[in-house]
Structure 1
């Protein structure tokens, strides 16, 4: 067993450690550059493939949207948004909870409704059907 550990340790060269260290640093830098931590400023509500409306998150408001199955309610409060009511059976969209970061989305597929939070700049990804 001791010989096996010695062989493994001697097999790892200084170049291996340099590549490993460079890889860890690269991952950390890319994570900081590409991961969005931007707060959202607006919520965009879609019904099917069309935009129902875009609303500021700097308000306290409930928006009632008629979907394919019935009316759903989107609540806006203190810079956050969520589906607070939906006619769908499983209520996955309601259980998604409050969204506050740009790029976050909640989708109610049976009712063909979605909401996406938008920041000052458009994130690299978009919400599509």
Structure 2
């Protein structure tokens, strides 16, 4: 038996593995590369309430069935600062900074979504 017969990987195998790793890295980069968020959309009861620039420092009150939800925008990020909902999940979401991030206050039917310059790659999300 010669040395070459018992090798597990041949030179072509190394090339295939390197090309595969390069392809995986490229696809991961494309999948996770998003554009910068530029606007925040505020929805009330499923309807667009306001769309604001993320660079403006602003606090807005959004009326809902349970009371007012406070949306704060500052330094390229947005958050729901206060909400009358009992569990406060949307407030606990904290500052949103990336395109596509959302905070939803279901009992008060209020939500915010960050958008960028590119259109969304999907129409809706479901769980």
Band the TM-score falls in, shorter-chain normalisation? 0.7 to 0.9
The answer to whether the 8 A contact 1:44-1:117 is kept is: yes
Residues 36/64 of structure 1: CA separation in 2 closer, same or farther (3 Å cut): farther
Residues 29/69 of structure 1: CA separation in 2 closer, same or farther (3 Å cut): same
Residues 11/49 of structure 1: CA separation in 2 closer, same or farther (3 Å cut): farther
* Pairing partner for 2:64 from 60, 63, 67: 67
Q: How many Å separate the matches in 1 of 2:65 and 2:23? A: 46
Residues 11/104 of structure 1: CA separation in 2 closer, same or farther (3 Å cut): farther
Tell me how far 1:18 sits from its aligned partner: 4.8
> Structure 2 matches for 1:98-113, cutoff 5 A?
98-113=95-110
Residue in 1 that maps onto 2:85: 88
Residue in 1 that maps onto 2:115: 118
The answer to whether the 8 A contact 1:42-1:117 is kept is: yes
User: How does the TM-score come out when normalised to structure 2?
Assistant: 0.80
Q: Secondary structure at the match of 1:81?
A: strand
Give deviations 1:68-122, integer Å, cap 9, x for gaps.
3221000000111000000111111111111111111111112111111011112
Q: How many Å separate the matches in 1 of 2:103 and 2:15? A: 42
Specify every segment of 5 or more residues in structure 1 that has no aligned partner in the other structure, as ranges: 1-9
User: How does the TM-score come out when normalised to structure 1?
Assistant: 0.79
Residue in 1 that maps onto 2:3: none
Q: Secondary structure at the match of 2:87?
A: coil
RMSD, aligned CA: 2.2
